[in-house]
Amino acid sequence: MNTSNFINLIGRLGDNPKTKTLESGTTLTTFSLATNEYFRDRDGNRQTRTEWHRVIAFGKLAELFDQYLRRGEQVSIVGSMRYRKWTDKYEQARTSAEVVADSFSFIGTGNSPAENGTDRSANLVAAPVPATHRPLGKEMTVAETIGQDADQEIPF
């Protein structure tokens, strides 16, 4: 049975990305992404539910996030979910969820280079995630896999 760990979120950054360099020399960037769900309650009133997601990226993609993304901008993030277990300062076991980004796209208004004077012509597809952060068997980013399939002959 094949299974897949794939997530695509469209939302707005809650704050500017935070970037640091790990001991291994790999760049790591984290930020929060807010997504909204709209629905009607029993009385017919429109309601909004906001969910916050922690997004992390490594390497070249982390550098691109740090360079181009800012608080409030709307983006589409493609990646996979990871659950990390850790122990807090009170020795309590905790679990946190994070989206490990593979690629992203700018969405909506306020993101165009002409509006903020930024050149965003850089390659927005990440290099493969370091092996220590990659699920077993995952060797390429989503964009690389799609590009590879495009080179194959069409069977019809």
- Which sequence spans correspond to the domains of the chain? 7-150
CB 83 within 8 A of CB 96: yes
H/E element, 63 = helix 59-68
The dotted CATH code for 7-150 is 2.40.50.140
| Residue 146 in this model has a pLDDT that exceeds 60 | no
Q: Which residues of 132-152 are buried (b: 16+ CB within 10 A; e: fewer)?
A: ebeeeebeebbebeeeeeeee
Tokens encoding 24: 């291994």
Check: CB of residue 77 under 8 Å from CB of residue 33: yes
Q: Is pTM, for the whole model, over 0.85?
A: no
Distances in Å between the Cα of 78 and the Cα atoms of 56, 61, 106 are: 11, 12, 12
Closest alpha carbon to 17 in 28, 30, 27: 30
| Per-residue pLDDT reduced to its tens digit, 91-118 | 999 999 999 999 999 886 654 444 455 4
pLDDT, position 112 = 45
Tens-place pLDDT, residues 65-98: 999 999 999 999 999 999 999 999 999 999 999 9
Q: Which amino acid is present at 112? A: S
